[in-house]
Structure 1
Amino acid sequence: LLEECKALHGCNTGEAKLTNAYNLPCKYVIHTVGPVWGGGKRKEAQLLADCYRNSLQVAVDHKIRSVAFPSISTGAYRYPLEEAAKIAVATVNEFIEDHPGELDLVEWVLFDQKTYEAYDTKLSQLIVSRIVHSPRLDEINRALMDGLI
């Protein structure tokens, strides 16, 4: 794995590159470099979104149907957790909507309770938003108002 990574000649912030997984319990590793938090003045939000978007694009390009993400940049790079979770969930959701049927599973691999709770909150908000703004729900509401139901 290390030798294949060396052959990639690095990876810029927000980019994503693919290697084989070798002895890891998966087929491939998609490498990305998250932004170091600098107070939000160096396009960190865009770069963090690029990490997720470009990683998913690499997966789709290589017919990889499942992906697992950590909370990119929230450790040593000190990206604020709540903001990172918001960006991660929104970016992945947008990508999935723009690429229907291309991915079967996107998982979050989160290493502590605080991080889990931040992502759980953002995912729950997304689900509620999708229900409230569902085209089917709008159709049902119109039928109720028209006295058809």
Structure 2
Amino acid sequence: MCIQAKSKICIVAGDITTIHVDAIVNAANSQLSDGSGVNGAIHRAGGPTILQECQKIIANRGICPTGEAVITSAGNLPAQYVIHAVGPIWQGGSQHEEELLAQCYYSALKLATQYTCKTMAIPCISTGIFGFPKEKAAIIAIRTIITFLQKDSILEKINLVAFDKENFDILSAALANY
């Protein structure tokens, strides 16, 4: 359910694996392996094809560095693509985590436009087991997305997806205060 929009951004509460969009962003790890949290949910719902494609990417190019993104098909998900974006692990803010998180969102957005996606679903990246402070991450996400959209993007709608009420409220406040 979308309750707040600014520009082309909508805050949505729910399960990212059920949203019908052109591309779903996965909060990936640098090995592109299935794991826990949103990453695990995307791999489970999408089926083995996603992991197989991720393994081919790793075999061909090595790990996906923090701040970068790669794309695969979406397997059984209601999307065309999954964009695997690697966010930073929070280390107190002294290791350029804020810049790396912004780069992570930017890389995902750029890849979506390269594949002519018009709609996206993006989770909160790095705020789970990677420990990034949620309020700070929400502000970075909103700022990066709005800046990207101001550059003549073909993207028509970006759903920022919150799995729980806490993240929904944090994203909503960040968008309202931008």
Aligned to 2:78: 25
Aligned to 1:99: 152
User: Percent identity over the alignment?
Assistant: 40
Give the match's secondary structure for 1:30: strand
Aligned to 1:56: 109
1:37-116 correspondence to structure 2 within 5 Å: 37-100=90-153, 102-116=154-168
Q: Which amino acid aligns with 2:54?
A: C
Q: Which residues of structure 1 form unaligned runs of 5+?
A: 127-149
Q: Which amino acid aligns with 1:95?
A: F
Shift in Å, 1:99:
2.6
Runs (4+) of structure 1 exceeding 2 A deviation are none
Larger radius of gyration: 1
Give the TM-score taking structure 2 as reference length. Answer: 0.68
Give the match's secondary structure for 1:8: helix
Determine the C-alpha separation between the residues in 1 that align with 2:144 and 2:133: 16
Listed one character per residue, the Cα deviations across residues 53-92 of structure 1 (whole Å, up to 9, x for unaligned) are 0000000011011111100000001100110000000000
Give the TM-score taking structure 1 as reference length. Answer: 0.81
26-35 or 7-16, which deviates more: 7-16
Q: Which residues of structure 2 form unaligned runs of 5+?
A: 1-49
Task: Say what the alpha-carbon RMSD is for the aligned residues.
Answer: 0.9
Q: How many residues matched?
A: 125
Aligned to 1:8: 57
More strand by share: 2
More helix by share: 1
Shift in Å, 1:116:
0.7
Give the match's secondary structure for 1:24: coil
Listed one character per residue, the Cα deviations across residues 82-134 of structure 1 (whole Å, up to 9, x for unaligned) are 1000000000000000134x1011001111111111110111112xxxxxxxx
Q: Which amino acid aligns with 1:13?
A: T
